[in-house]
Structure formats: C-alpha cells, structure tokens
Amino acid sequence: MTQASKASAQDRRWLAAAAALGVRARPLSRPNPAVGAIIVRGGKVLGRGWTAAGGRPHAEAVAIAEAGGSIHGSTVYVTLEPCAHESRRGPACASMLVEARPARVVIGCGDPDPRTNGRGIALLREAGIDAVLADCEASRNSLAGFLTREKLGRPHVTLKLALSLDGCIAMAGGESQWITGPQARAHTHMLRAMSDAILVGSGTVRADKPRLDVRLQGLERFSPARWVLTHGAAPEGWQAVADPGDLTAMTSAQYLLVEGGARTAAAFLAADRVDRLAIYRAPIVIGGGRAGIADIGLGSLAEAHGRWRMSDSRMLGNDQFCVYERTPCLPE
C-alpha cells in the first residue's frame, strides 16, 4: 500500500483542465456522470477523454485509448474517483488503471456511488499506485448534477432569470420581449441544451405556451424534457411536478433548468431548491414593472445574506451574465 502524495498547485491546474473536458459530456453522458480525464507525462499530454454518450466508455478509458501506447509512469488526472465495479458494458476503471500502471492518479472528488465510494482509490493504492484525492472545486462544479443526485436524490437546479437593471421580467402590462439581447438569448438556449429537464409554472404555460426547446442550429435534439409546476395535469408532451420540495419524479435528470415565472421562481427559492442562479442583466430600466421573483417568505433581511456566492460574471453583448452558487453547497 503506497502512501499518497499531496496535490500541488500544478496538479490543480490539470484537474481544472480535466473538469473543462468533463463538461463536454453534458448532457449525453446521462445517467452517468460527466467525467473528464487527462494523462500527462513530463509535462506532455498523452491522452484526454470525457464520458461518451450513453455513459460508456468512461473518460479514463477514452484517455488511455487516445494515449495509444504505454502510460507507464504518467499521472492520470480524473475529476471523479475511478469506478470499482465491473459492468456488462466494460471493466472497472480502477482495474484498467492498475493494469496500465501510471505512477499517480490525481482525483478531483470521491464517488458517492456505494459501488465505488473509496474502493476505487483503495484498489489503486493496493496496487502500489500513488492515488491522491484532491478536494477540487472545479471537479465538483463540473459534476454538480451527478453529485446532487447521488447525495440529495434530486437534480441540480439552476434558476434562470432575464432581468432589467431594476429586477423586472416584463412591463406592468406584460410586455416581455425582449429584455435581453440576442447573445444572451442564444446563451440561454445553450443552458437548455446542457440540461436534462426544464420547468416553468402553470401560469407561464397558460400565458405563453412556451416551446422551451433548443433553437441553436445543430443542437435541436438536445432539447430537455419539459416539466410544469402544477397540482393539476400536464399538457400533452409535458410532465407535472406538484412541489419543488419533491422532485423525485425527475428520476434520471442531473440538471434541471427553472425558467420562471416569478411565482415558480419564488416557490423553488422558498423551498431552498435552487443551487445556482443564472442571471442575464440587460442595461435597461423598466420602472414599476413585473418583478422577477415573488414572495419567498423571508422573515428578515439577515436571513437573505450568506446564501449566494458569485462564481462568474461576464458580458454577453450588452447584457451582463452573472452566476451565483448556493452556499454552503453540497454536504460533504
């Protein structure tokens, strides 16, 4: 049994690169996690991989295959602990790595799946490979959907809002097209394409009959499953969920995108079922318009603080795109 080394700053940069590769697997890896892997020796990349469509082959297998020859003595960076369970669809990644004999395996985060959960790392160490479990934020973020499902039994929820500077989603009379510009709207369609499910309130369904599909050329087939928040029946082609606190009906979805309206946004926030806010902020003032978020039952201003941490801010055309993560995030 080898003593594990520590993850260096350079290790963390490679892990962040592996996490960026992992994101490429969204959403097609489902129901498997969107893992990324990079194999490095002497500062040179031998192979890269991410989980293939349908979940197989796994990222490690893709990266080993890309490396072609031997990966002896290399370091394998992988965002999630290599799986320890054989499957009809292929050998366990931990066994495959033991056979390929890298010198080190640096792992972004542990796999909570009870079939692996530490066994992947143990297998590597028993074989004399230096297996390092780094606590890597980039890896965790790239696997947020999988980790939320494993740990909380529900999808990772992003609430998307397109707002004026004064927080409105429409004029008082209802006019709402458009708040944001074409770049922001295209970006929203990309968010949709990376989601497994999309949800709006029953009021929005009745008022707007939204298609909620992906209207980006070549990505139309990534349109997510449509859900409506209602105690009633879902329209044809839709599914219904009655309560943001109970998303068990969304059995395989890793990522849910909530697109409004204001009462639906409030219902998810009040139930503390929003993991991420994705806010498109247009440089316009509406004044006395319709607010983007209805009453969330806040008892005092103090309660509102400490819940959200900005993780990204950038311009999309004239609009500002800001992302906030719920904090504290997932239970360890």
Which parts are annotated binding residues for NADP(+)? Answer: 162, 178, 204, 208, 261-267
Burial (CB count within 10 angstroms: exposed 0-12, middle 13-18, buried 19+), residue 183: middle
Judged by CB under 8 A, the residue of 122, 271, 284, 329 near a copy of itself is 284
Q: How far is the CB of 199 from a copy of itself (least distance, A)?
A: 18
Catalytic residue at 175? no
Give, to the nearest 10 degrees, the angle between helix 93-100 and helix 119-126.
20
Q: DSSP H helical segments within 194-239, as ranges?
A: 202-208
Q: How far is the CB of 212 from a copy of itself (least distance, A)?
A: 21
Identify whether the C-beta of residue 261 lies closer than 8 Å to the C-beta of residue 229: no
Positions at the binding site for substrate: 176, 192, 212, 215, 259
Identify whether the C-beta of residue 199 lies closer than 8 Å to the C-beta of residue 234: no
Range list of β-strands (E), the chain: 36-41, 44-50, 75-80, 104-109, 130-133, 156-163, 168-170, 197-201, 225-229, 239-241, 255-258, 276-281, 290-291, 308-316, 319-326
Binding range to a copy of itself, per CB under 8 A, among 120-128, 164-172, 192-200, 203-211? 164-172
Give, to the nearest 10 degrees, the angle between helix 93-100 and helix 59-67.
20
Judged by beta carbon, residue 27 or residue 292, the one nearer a copy of itself is: 292
Binding range to a copy of itself, per CB under 8 A, among 8-16, 17-25, 159-167, 197-205? 159-167
Q: How far is the CB of 304 from a copy of itself (least distance, A)?
A: 4
Instruction: Quickly tell me which residue has 């962040």 as its tokens.
Output: 16
Q: Which of 60, 150, 325, 332 is catalytic?
A: 60
* Residue 174 binds a copy of itself (CB under 8 A): no
Judged by beta carbon, residue 9 or residue 301, the one nearer a copy of itself is: 301
Q: How far is the CB of 166 from a copy of itself (least distance, A)?
A: 4
Q: How far is the CB of 325 from a copy of itself (least distance, A)?
A: 10
Instruction: Quickly tell me which residue has 């707002």 as its tokens.
Output: 163
Size of the site for a copy of itself (CB under 8 A): 48
Strands 130-133 and 44-50: unpaired
Give, to the nearest 10 degrees, the angle between helix 59-67 and helix 9-23.
110
Judged by beta carbon, residue 118 or residue 317, the one nearer a copy of itself is: 317
* Residue 242 binds a copy of itself (CB under 8 A): no
Q: How far is the CB of 264 from a copy of itself (least distance, A)?
A: 12
Binding range to a copy of itself, per CB under 8 A, among 107-115, 212-220, 235-243, 304-312? 304-312
Containing 143, the helix (H) or strand (E) segment is: none
How many other C-beta atoms lie within 10 A of the C-beta of residue 116? 22
Identify whether the C-beta of residue 160 lies closer than 8 Å to the C-beta of residue 188: yes
* Residue 207 binds a copy of itself (CB under 8 A): no
The number of CA neighbours under 13 Å toward the Cβ of 94 is 27
* Residue 138 binds a copy of itself (CB under 8 A): no
Residues 75, 71: Cα–Cα separation, whole Å = 8
Binding range to a copy of itself, per CB under 8 A, among 4-12, 20-28, 32-40, 165-173? 165-173
Catalytic residues: 60
> Which stretches of the chain bind a copy of itself, using CB under 8 A?
161, 163-168, 171-172, 175-179, 266, 269-270, 277, 279, 282-288, 291-298, 300-301, 304-305, 307-310, 313, 315, 318, 320, 322, 324
